[in-house]
Amino acid sequence: MSNELNGKRIAFLVANVGVEQVELTSPWSAVEAAGGRPVLVAPEKGTVQAVKGDVDKGDTFDADEAVGSASAADFDALVLPGGVANPDKLRMDADAMAFVKDFVDAGKPIAAICHAPWSLVEAGVLAGKTLTSWPSLQTDIRNAGGEWRDEQSITCRERGFTLVTSRNPDDLDAFNGALLDAFAAAG
């Protein structure tokens, strides 16, 4: 990949415990390879404990910024990795939900995979959007006004911001390609 992101700062919002490791590391590597600057944002600055699947501990990562002191204005786009616990914890954090909503209000692109759309449900930003996710979220997405489809990757450019979604780690190649396209196209 070329430097199509040209130094754009990309926020990766995760809980301090429970992010699916490959859904963090794969898009992170894709952003770096495309010339972007990924930044790990979490409720607390410090250690982030990743998981591999629902129960196995993964690696730890250092959060670069605490979400309470981070501003969407300082970033060009947002990635929401999945994992079951990760978005469930984030949706209970008012600062994290305000951070997500600020990206939407600013018209900046967001990419969410697997269970991550739970954060978008909680932020109340899915009305009129078409997206995919882990299948168990489809009722929540529909109840939040979104249209759910079972597709590998969906890019939706409606209602003021671009949303890229995918179902699970098997879709990471498609997800990474779609998020890079959306992020590169964003002003």
Kindly list the catalytic residues: 114
Rounded Cα distance, 98 and 178, in Å: 25
End-to-end CA distance of the chain: 19
Rounded Cα distance, 106 and 101, in Å: 9
Q: Evaluate the CA torsion angle 65, 66, 69, 72 in order and state its sign.
A: positive
Alpha carbon of residue 116 to chain centroid? 6
Reduced to 3 states (helix: H, G, I; strand: E, B; else coil), residue 44 is: coil
Among candidate residues 105, 80, 74, 77, the one with its CA nearest the CA of residue 93: 80
User: Residue 122, exposed/middle/buried by CB under 10 A (0-12, 13-18, 19+)?
Assistant: buried
Angle ∠(30,60,181) on CA atoms, nearest 5: 15
DSSP state of 178: H
